[in-house]
C-alpha cells in the first residue's frame, strides 16, 4: 500500500500542482500516482488529462491505418487468439503486392501513416519486410511497424529501409505475470527491445493490457513509472478481453473505466505522447472509445485490413468484426471540435 498524501486544501491547488509538474516534465512519484489513481474521482482526472492534451497537443486527431498482413505467430501468449496453439484459426499471409495495393488505397484516402502489423511470423523476416517498407515510403507517408520482438540488426534493417515508428506494447511490467502470460520471451528482453528501438531513433510505442488475471492496481502504477522512464512517443492501453480459444477463456473482462483512468494518467505523465483510443475499448462498448478522447487520447488507429482477412486477426473476440465508419468518425470529431490530419488526394 502507498503512504497517504496529505489531502490538498482545494481542488484548485491539486490541479495547479499536477499541471505544473506535467508541463515542466517533472516526474511523478509513486505516492502521487497512487493518489491520482485511488483517490481522485474519475471525472476530475479525465478533465485534467483533457486540459493537458489540449494545451500540449491541441485539437488535432491523428488517424493511422492498420493493415494486419499475417496472422501467423510463433508464440503462444496465453491471452492471444492468434497464438500458435490455436489450431482452429484459419491462417493467412498477405502477398507483397496485396499489401502495397492496400497501402496505396489508404494513402489516396488521405491517411498519412500506414501501420503494418502481424504476429511474429518467421516467414516475414526483416529483409522481406524492408522491401515493403521501402515501397510504401515512396508514397510519402510514415510507416509504423508492429511485428514483435526482433534482433537489434533486424530493427536496424527496417529503420534503414525507412520505417519511422515501432509499436511494441510492454503489456505488463509485473515480471511474474509477464513470464506466465508470455512463455516464449522475458520481460528483460521486451524492455531491451524497447530501448534498442529508441537507440535506433524510431518513434516508439508501448502500452499495457489492463485487467489481466492477477494484475493489481499497484502493478499498474509500476507500469506508469516504467513509462515515465522509457518516455515513449506513443502509448496504447487496452482492456483485457478473454478469448474463448485461449487458456484465459472465462476470466473476467478488464474494466474499461480503469483503462480510461490509466489513459488519463498516461497523458498527465507524458504530456506530448500520442495516445490512441484503442479498438479494444470500442469492442467492450463504442462509447468508451469516444470517452477516451475526453480522457487524454489524440489518435485513432482504424483496422483497415481487407475484409476477407480481418476476421482471422482475432487477437481478442469481437475485434475482426469491428467496422470502421470513417465518415461517422469524422462527423464525431467535428462535433467534438477536433480536427483530423486526413486529407484525401484528388488527382482530378
Q: Looking up cell 482492456, which residue turns up?
A: 239
> What is the rounded CA–CA span in Å between residue 169 and residue 305?
20
Bridge-based pairing of strands 234-235 and 203-206 is: parallel
Q: In angstroms, give the least distance from the CB of 148 to ligand SF4.
A: 5
3-state secondary structure of 210: strand
Say whether 88 counts as a known binding-site residue. no
Of the candidate residues 37, 49, 80, 106, the single one contacting ligand SF4 (CB under 6 A): 80
Q: What is the DSSP code string of 83-134?
A: STT-TTSPP-B--HHHHHHHHHHHHHHT-SEEEEEE---TTS-HHHHHHHHH
> What is the rounded CA–CA span in Å between residue 33 and residue 35?
5
Among 8-16, 42-50, 80-88, 340-348, the segment contacting ligand SF4 (CB under 6 A): 80-88
Q: In angstroms, give the least distance from the CB of 76 to ligand SF4.
A: 6
Of the candidate residues 48, 119, 206, 224, the single one contacting ligand SF4 (CB under 6 A): 119
Cell of 139: 508514397
- Does 73 interact with ligand SF4 (rule: CB under 6 A)? yes
* Contact set for ligand SF4, span 308-337 (CB under 6 A): 315
Which regions of 46-202 does DSSP assign to beta strands (E)? 60-63, 65-70, 113-118, 142-146, 165-167
Of the candidate residues 40, 65, 82, 221, the single one contacting ligand SF4 (CB under 6 A): 82
Say whether 15 counts as a known binding-site residue. no
State residue 341 phi and psi, 5-degree precision. -95, 15
Site string for ligand SF4, 269-298 (x = CB under 6 A): ------------------------------
Say whether 55 counts as a known binding-site residue. no
Of the candidate residues 57, 70, 145, 148, the single one contacting ligand SF4 (CB under 6 A): 148
Q: Which of 307, 240, 315 is nearest to 67 (CA)?
A: 307
Among 75-83, 100-108, 172-180, 301-309, the segment contacting ligand SF4 (CB under 6 A): 75-83
Residues making contact with ligand SF4 (CB under 6 A): 73, 75, 77, 80, 82-83, 119-120, 148, 315
Amino acid at each position: 500500500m502507498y503512504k497517504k498524501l496529505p489531502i490538498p486544501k482545494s481542488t484548485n491547488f491539486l490541479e495547479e500542482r499536477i499541471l505544473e509538474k506535467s508541463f515542466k516534465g517533472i516526474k511523478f512519484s509513486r505516492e502521487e500516482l497512487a493518489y491520482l489513481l485511488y483517490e481522485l474521482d474519475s471525472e476530475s482526472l479525465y478533465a485534467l488529462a483533457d486540459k493537458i492534451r489540449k494545451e500540449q497537443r491541441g485539437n488535432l486527431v491523428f488517424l493511422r491505418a492498420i493493415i494486419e498482413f499475417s496472422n501467423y505467430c510463433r508464440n503462444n501468449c496465453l491471452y492471444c487468439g492468434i497464438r500458435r496453439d490455436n489450431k482452429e484459426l484459419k491462417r493467412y499471409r498477405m502477398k507483397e503486392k496485396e499489401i502495397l495495393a492496400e497501402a496505396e488505397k489508404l494513402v489516396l484516402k488521405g491517411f498519412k501513416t500506414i501501420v503494418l502489423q502481424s504476429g511474429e511470423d518467421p516467414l516475414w523476416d526483416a529483409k522481406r519486410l524492408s522491401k515493403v517498407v521501402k515501397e510504401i515510403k515512396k508514397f510519402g507517408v510514415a510507416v509504423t511497424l508492429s511485428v514483435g520482438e526482433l534482433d537489434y540488426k533486424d530493427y536496424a534493417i527496417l529503420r534503414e529501409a525507412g520505417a519511422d515508428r515501432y509499436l511494441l506494447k510492454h503489456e505488463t511490467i509485473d515480471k511474474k505475470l509477464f513470464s506466465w502470460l508470455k512463455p516464449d520471451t522475458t520481460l528483460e528482453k521486451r524492455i531491451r527491445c524497447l530501448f534498442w528501438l529508441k537507440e535506433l531513433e524510431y518513434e516508439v510505442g508501448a502500452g499495457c493490457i489492463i485487467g489481466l488475471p492477477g494484475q493489481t492496481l499497484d502493478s499498474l502504477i509500476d507500469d506508469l513509472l516504467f513509462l515515465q522512464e522509457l518516455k515513449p512517443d506513443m502509448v496504447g492501453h487496452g482492456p483485457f478481453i478473454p478469448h474463448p480459444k485461449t487458456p484465459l477463456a472465462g476470466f473476467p473482462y478488464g474494466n474499461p473505466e480503469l483503462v480510461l483512468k490509466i489513459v488519463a494518467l498516461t497523458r498527465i505523465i507524458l504530456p506530448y505522447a500520442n495516445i490512441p483510443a484503442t479498438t479494444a475499448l470500442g469492442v467492450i462498448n463504442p462509447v468508451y472509445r469516444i470517452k477516451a478522447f475526453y480522457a487524454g487520447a489524440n489518435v485513432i488507429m482504424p483496422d483497415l485490413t481487407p475484409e476477407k482477412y480481418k476476421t482471422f486477426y482475432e487477437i481478442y473476440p469481437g475485434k475482426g468484426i469491428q467496422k470502421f465508419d470513417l465518415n461517422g468518425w469524422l462527423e464525431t470529431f467535428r462535433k467534438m471540435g477536433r480536427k483530423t490530419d486526413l486529407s484525401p488526394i484528388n488527382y482530378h
